[in-house]
């Protein structure tokens, strides 16, 4: 039986010990770099045409207290897909449209369910009221009613560790309209 260690957490039975640690470390580094890029963009900074971007994606990582319960929640309650799992050390969840969520065991440095430290929003692929009803039937706990937030309808919910999420449906007048390729901005 193999085991791996990361942030003081040992996961016995990981199938690919070195790869699990390597993937987790690479995704965390890429995610931190992506946050820097987002901060630059928020201040109006734009990359010049001669500047090559050194980041290609990222992954939000959620720290969980029970890997089995977390994987079950994301697959069965939310209906997402499992990309890979390395025992109780790491799981990657496909949330659609290019969003991959990493699940990692909680530790003293990274406890599970710390409200206010992160949130992930999901787009509703059907009217939000229908999606909320389906998710409630699968046991998802929502915090309050659907909120009208000017441009969006938003429903807040949580995973089994109390990590906050929201479901959003853009109002019709605020939905993105595809631009023809010749007029699309980079």
Mean pLDDT of 166-176: 83
In this prediction the pTM is 0.58
Q: Give the pair of three-digit tokens for residue 38.
A: 């987002």
Stretch among 30-34, 86-90, 101-105 having the lowest mean pLDDT = 30-34
Q: Name which residue leads in pLDDT, 167 or 176.
A: 167
Q: What is the CATH number of domain 117-186?
A: 3.30.720.110
> In the chain, what are the domain boundaries?
1-112, 117-186
Q: How far apart are CA 143 and CA 80, in angstroms?
A: 21
Mean pLDDT of 67-73: 97
Q: How far apart are CA 52 and CA 142, in angstroms?
A: 42
Q: How far apart are CA 133 and CA 102, in angstroms?
A: 26
Mean of the per-residue pLDDT values for the chain? 76
CATH number (3.40.50.300, 3.40.50.150, 3.30.70.360, 3.30.720.120) of 1-112 reads 3.30.720.120
Whether the per-residue pLDDT at 75 is higher than 90: the answer is yes
Hey, do 1-112 and 117-186 end up sharing a CATH topology, with the first three levels equal? yes
Q: How far apart are CA 39 and CA 153, in angstroms?
A: 25
Q: Identify the pLDDT of residue 174.
A: 77
Are the CB atoms for 91 and 67 separated by under 8 Å? yes
Stretch among 1-15, 57-71, 124-138 having the lowest mean pLDDT = 1-15
| pLDDT tens sequence across 22-48 | 555 555 555 545 544 444 444 444 444
Q: How far apart are CA 171 and CA 80, in angstroms?
A: 24
């Amino acid at each position: 039986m193999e085991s791996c260690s990361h942030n003081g957490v040992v996961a016995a039975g990981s199938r690919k010990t070195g790869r699990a640690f390597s993937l987790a470390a690479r995704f965390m580094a890429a995610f931190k770099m992506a946050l820097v890029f987002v901060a630059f963009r928020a201040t109006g900074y734009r990359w010049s045409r001669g500047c090559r971007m050194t980041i290609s994606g990222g992954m939000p990582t959620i720290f969980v207290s029970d890997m089995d319960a977390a994987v079950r929640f994301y697959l069965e309650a939310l209906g997402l897909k499992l990309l890979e799992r390395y025992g109780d050390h790491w799981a990657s969840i496909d949330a659609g449209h290019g969003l991959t969520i990493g699940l990692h065991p909680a530790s003293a440095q990274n406890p599970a369910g710390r409200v206010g430290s992160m949130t992930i929003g999901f787009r509703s692929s059907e009217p939000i009221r229908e999606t909320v009803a389906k998710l409630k039937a699968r046991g998802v706990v929502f915090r309050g009613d659907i909120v009208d937030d000017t441009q969006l309808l938003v429903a807040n919910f949580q995973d089994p560790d109390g990590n906050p999420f929201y479901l959003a449906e853009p109002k019709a007048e605020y939905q993105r309209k595809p631009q023809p390729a010749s007029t699309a901005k980079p």
